[in-house]
Amino acid sequence: MAARQADSIYRLKITLRDIRPPIWRRVEVPGGISLLSLHEILNEAMGWFDGHLHDFEIDGVEYTTPDEDFDSGRPTEDDSRWRLDAVVTQVGAKLRYRYDFGDGWEHDVLVEAIEAPVSGVVYPRLTAGRRSCPPEDCGGPWGYAELLEALADPGHERHGELADWLGAGFDPEAFLIPETNAVLAERFADLKPLRRSTRRPAAAAAPKRSATTRGGGPLPQTVTVKADGTVRLPASVLQAMGLPAGGSVMIVVVNSSVILMRDPRIKS
C-alpha cells in the first residue's frame, strides 16, 4: 500500500515473550488494514512461515480465523473483518499476538505512535529489530533455549541432532532489515484498506453458561486435533491446569483413555 493511500500509520513494537535476550521488531503499518493482514505482516517481519494457527487478544476479545469446531469461551471475532484502527485507537495500547498454539509463541505488541503517512514511503515497512526468529516447531521458548544451549556446546548430547535438523547457516543473532523490507514490499504491494464498519466487537457479550450433566456437574469438554497437529484447549481447561494461554501439556494414552497432564518440564 503506498503511503498516499493510508489515513494513518501505526508504529508497532513486537516483542517475543519469554526469550532472553529479547527478539523484537518495529514495524509501520497502515491503520486501515485488517487484523488478518496485520497477522501476515507480523509473521513476515518476525520470520515465521505462517504454517500454524494464530490469534490476537485485544481488550478481552479474541480475533482469529473462524473455527466451528472450537469454542474458546471468550468473545471471538473474525480477524479478516476488523480494521486495526477500529479496535486499537490509542498510542500506548497493548495487544497480544499468538502464533502456533502448540509451541505457544506469544508476542507483546505495543502501539508506539499513530502518525500521518510520509510522502514517498511504502508501507508496511520494518524500521528496526534484533535477533533471528526461532526455528519453527522447535518447542516454544523452553525448546528454543535448549536448542541454543545444545548448539553452543559441541559436547552436548543433542548437539549433532539439532545441528543436523537446523542445517548450516543458522545464526541466532542475525537479522537483516533490507532483505525483510524487500519481501514485505513485494508481498504486500497490492494491500488495500478494509472497508469501515459501524459494528462494534462483541466485548460486552455475556459469557456463555456452561452446559451441565443431569447431576449438575459440567459436561466433559472435547478438543480437536488440527491438520498441523496442534490442539487448542478451552480456556477453562487451561485455567484448571494453571496454564497460561498457549501453555504446554502432555497427552498420555492409557488403554482407550486420553489424559491431559501438565508438562513437568514447564515451571509454575
Q: What does the pLDDT read at residue 257?
A: 55
pLDDT in tens, 107-127: 999 999 999 999 999 999 999
Cβ atoms 118, 125 nearer than 8 A: no
Q: How far is CA 103 from the centre of its chain?
A: 10
**pLDDT at residue 3, rounded to an integer:** 37
Q: Which three cell numbers stand for residue 158?
A: 543433542
Question: Could you give the domains of the chain?
Answer: 3-131+175-187 (3.10.290.30), 139-170 (no CATH), 233-268 (2.10.260)
The alpha-helical segments, DSSP class H, found in the chain are 35-46, 84-87, 140-152, 159-166, 177-187, 235-240
* Confidence bin at 1 (pLDDT 50/70/90): very low
Q: Single out the residue of 106, 137, 127, 168 nearest to residue 25, CA to CA.
A: 127
pTM of the model: 0.73
Residues 6+ apart with CB under 8 A from 130: 21, 22, 23, 24, 175
Quick: pLDDT tens for 53-67.
999 999 999 999 887
pLDDT at position 92 is: 97
Residue 244: cis peptide before it, omega within 30 degrees of 0: no
Q: 127-161: per-residue pLDDT in tens?
A: 999 999 999 999 999 999 999 999 999 999 999 99
